[in-house]
Amino acid sequence: MYITDTSDKVRVIIENLESKKDISKLKFLIYVFGVLNNDQINENNNSNPSLNVEEDYNILNPEIIGLSNNTCTILLQYFSTVYNNLTEPNATYEENGNIIGVEYDNDEEKILSEFEKLTFIEKLDILSEIIIRYDNGTYFDEEIKIAPFDSRMSGYDIAKIIQNYKNNII
């Protein structure tokens, strides 16, 4: 693992992902970037944090990690295209920053459930780890062309920003 200062729960999820087929890994990316796109990676684990205007808590969004606000939507559109190429044409589509039509099997749902149970800090570690692996071409087993996160920063740069953000709120 690239992120070493983390919990055993994070390690287990990453190790579990490593053993999965590329389509399952892609589904995990779709899920994680979908929740990131919708501000659902936050300290209080709220599904709609924008409704809680009276509370002040940390919410991760692309701008905090140095990316443009529409980065996740663009990535999700790309992931949807890759998913459709690996499965069947038009199985999924992007609508308002969400991917519609992804079907998860029981093992995939278990991984997503474990991800949702993580603390905010642990979710930051998962995101850092998968961003590094995705960007350096080690996330997928097969050769799958990847869309870059940013034209200026590598996955390591983005993960470092996430880890600095994490360290500032601990």
Residue 119 resides in a domain: yes
Per the domain annotation, does 143 fall within a domain? yes
Spatial contact of 45 and 136, defined as CB atoms under 8 Å apart: no
Based on C-alpha coordinates, what's the Rg of the chain?
15
Which domain, by its residues, includes 43? 8-48+57-169
95 has which bridge partners? Answer: 98
Residue 2 is assigned to a structural domain of this protein: no
Return the HEC string of 27-88.
HHHHHHHHHHHCCCCECCCCCCHHHCCCCCCCECCHHHHCCCCCHHHHHHHHHHHHHHHHCC
pLDDT of residue 170: 79
Tokens 């606000």 label which residue? 69
Per-residue pLDDT of the chain (170 residues; tens, 9 = 90+): 999 999 999 999 999 999 999 999 999 999 999 999 998 999 887 776 665 566 678 989 999 998 999 999 999 999 999 999 999 888 998 888 889 999 999 999 999 999 999 999 999 999 999 999 999 999 999 989 889 888 889 999 999 999 999 999 97
Residue 3: inside a domain, yes or no? no
86 domain-assigned: yes
The answer to the question of residue 68 being in a domain is yes
pTM of the model: 0.93
> Measured between alpha carbons, how far is 158 from 66 in angstroms, rounded to an integer?
7
Number of independent structural domains in the chain: 1
Residue-level pLDDT at 96: 84
Q: Report pLDDT for 150.
A: 80
